[in-house]
Amino acid sequence: MSEHTITVAGVAVDTRHWIGGERVASAQTFPDVSPIDGSTIGGISRGTAMEAAAAVAAAKAAFPAWAATSRAERARILHAIADGVEKRIEELAIVETTDNGALLRSHRRGVMPRVAHNFRFFADWLLKLEHEDFETRGHTNHVSWDPAGPSVLITPWNAPLMLATWKVAPALAAGNTVILKPAEWTPLTASLLADIATEAGLPAGVLNVVQGYGSEIGDALTSHPDVRRISFTGSVPTAKRIAESAAANLTPLSLELGGKSPLLVFADADLDLAVDLAVEQYDNAGQVCLAATRFLVEESVAEEFTRRFVEKAGQLTQGDPRGEATDIGPNIHPLQLEKIDGFVQRAVAAGARAVIGGHRKDGQYYAPTLLTAVAQDSEIVQEEVFGPVLTLQTFATEDEAVRLANDTRFGLAATLATGDPERAERVTAQLVAGTVWTNCFFVRDLQAPFGGSRHSGVGREGGTWSFDFYCDLKNTVTSPNGWNNHG
């Protein structure tokens, strides 16, 4: 076993970068720490501008051949990658749980199968991607999707491999080459993905994985003149820096950013369903960008809703995410835990009441929290916490509910519970959000557009929208005249 290989729950993981089909070590490393118990998993190669340049050069060199590869062959390789993921679901699940603290049972049953599905979906979508030709004054218009070039994909720590492959799969399907930069808090499964892709026959340089801190390697990637696409999921401040970095080269961006999504509960809703939806917002210890963290409940049912919510939330089990019965695991990092607690303590000092929770627990665990008596313009209502912290406000009218729901700088998602289909239609038409769920939550289909409004993002991905982003769309107009007569 190499000195650069660590063993995570019996799984060997290479800690070096993957550049141009080879493992590349950096002069320095950074520690990867498990949120489960705070233990150091290992030292990860710490990339710099030098590794960034090497990865972009490898992607640029590999691009012409990969772009010229037939759709059928690209799709075949993506399906082979999916096969490799499915063979290693158990290994990927335990490594990712160790690295980011999310539930092992969720990784086994949902997240890692979804990783494989990401590759299969975009492989299949590629094969049916087309636009019907159309006529203009006797001329034929033909729309095509041309590969754009090397693509930098910067991914978050809350669902590392699933969200990475949500970008990697369509970028590769489109014929682009990729430089994947995983979050420094959760780099391990990206390294395993490089192994799986290579075993599946992906040519050298088509997928590159570089690790490190944003300030040391991320900036060098996003400002590189040979990069033709940048896709980022993360915070608004980081997105602004990336946009500034990309501006000099006019590099197209896709940004999926934060959220402060509402859950609107009307008096005519199935209250048990509404409570189930509300408690679901503690999923992944509240570290979900789409989470409906602001409960907006009609006054006449607010007391009963709160009572039932407190009762159901009290049944959740918080602890080691490797346990089958665990519902809520740890938060990702001491810095994130400090941020979460700071939000809560400032809110309480300003007059908020913690109906449940409101405090840290041992290690990197934060008690599931519900705050009431919060003002609409308060920090806790307006800013993303990204932890198991929810707020509850009441409304008297439908118009007030919509006003409160839309009164933040975000617009990623919204959820509403109502028994009236006409009300649902009226309200959803007025909500500012990229995704709206009615009487459900987190139902996602890859053929649907995904993204946010306002400060929640720029652009949409999913289905054809992903290919629209990762490709240069071309319209070829052909005259019926001028052809040589070849008999």
Supply the CATH number for residue 151's domain: 3.40.605.10
Residue at token pair 């014929």: 175
Report if residue 14 sits inside a domain. yes
Q: What is the mean pLDDT of residues 167-173?
A: 98
Q: Is 466 within the bounds of a domain?
A: yes
Does any domain span residue 28? Answer: yes
> Are residues 383 and 397 located together in one domain of the fold?
yes
Q: Which of 289, 384, 461, 471 is catalytic?
A: 289
Domain identity same for 185 and 334: no
β-bridge mates for residue 5, sequence order: 14
Q: Are 328 and 364 in contact (CB under 8 A)?
A: no
Q: Tell me: do 15 and 96 sit in the same domain.
A: yes
Asked whether the predicted pLDDT for residue 135 surpasses 90, the reply is yes
* Per-residue model confidence (pLDDT) at position 325: 95
The answer to whether residue 480 is domain-embedded is no
Give the residue-averaged pLDDT of 474-480.
95
118 and 236 in a single domain? The answer is yes
Same domain, 47 and 130: yes
The enclosing H or E element of 71 equals helix 71-87
Annotated active-site residue 311? The verdict is no
User: Residue 1: its pLDDT value, please?
Assistant: 63
What pLDDT, on a 0 to 100 scale, did the predictor assign at position 2? 75
209 assigned to some structural domain = yes
Q: What angle do CA 74, 196, 469 make, to 5 degrees?
A: 45
Residues 130 and 55 in one domain: yes
271 and 181 in one domain? no
464, 419: one domain: no
* Structure confidence by residue, pLDDT tens digits, 94-103: 999 999 999 9
pLDDT single digits (tens) 289-314: 999 999 999 999 999 999 999 999 99
Report the domain count for the chain: 2
Q: What is the CATH number of the domain that holds 268?
A: 3.40.309.10
Across the range 249-264, mean pLDDT stands at 96
In a domain, 483, yes or no: no
Q: Does some domain include residue 222? A: yes
- Tell me the per-residue pLDDT of 95-126, one tens digit each, with 9 for 90 and over: 999 999 999 999 999 999 999 999 999 999 99
Helical axes 160-173 vs 463-470, angle rounded to 10°: 70
Whole-number percent of the chain with pLDDT over 70: 99
Q: How confident is the model at residue 483 (pLDDT cuts 50, 70, 90)?
A: confident
d(CA 57, CA 150): 9
Query: What percentage of the chain carries pLDDT values higher than 90?
Result: 97
| Residue 440 annotated to the active site | no
Looking at the fold, whether 431 and 458 belong to one and the same domain comes out as: no
Based on the fold, state whether residues 68 and 85 are members of the same structural domain. Answer: yes
- Which residues are CB-contacts of 196 (< 8 A; sequence separation ≥ 6)? 81, 84, 85, 88
- Read off the pLDDT of each residue in 303-327 and give the average, rounded to a whole number: 97
- Phi, psi angle pair for 437, to nearest 5°: -110, 130
pLDDT at 487 over 80: no
Q: Is the pLDDT of residue 482 over 90?
A: no
347 and 398 inside one domain = yes
Residue 166 in contact with residue 444, Cβ under 8 Å?
no
**The predicted structure's pLDDT at residue 486:** 61
Could you tell me the pLDDT band of residue 164, with boundaries at 50, 70 and 90?
very high
Mark whether 456 and 431 lie in a shared domain.
no
Flag whether 187 is in a domain: yes
pLDDT in tens, 13-50: 999 999 999 999 999 999 999 999 999 999 999 999 99
User: CA torsion sign, 401 to 350 to 456 to 178?
Assistant: negative
The pLDDT value recorded for residue 3 is 85
Structural element, H or E, at residue 62? helix 49-68
Name residue 474's amino acid: K
Mean pLDDT along residues 423-429? 97
Out of 216, 256, 298, 461, the active site residue is 256
How many alpha carbons fall within 13 Å on the CB side of residue 58? 27
Q: For 197-217, what is each residue's pLDDT tens digit?
A: 999 999 999 999 999 999 899
Whole-angstrom CA distances from 353 to 313, 358, 374 are: 17, 9, 8
In which domain, by residue range, is 286 found?
Answer: 261-438
Mean per-residue pLDDT, 392-418:
97
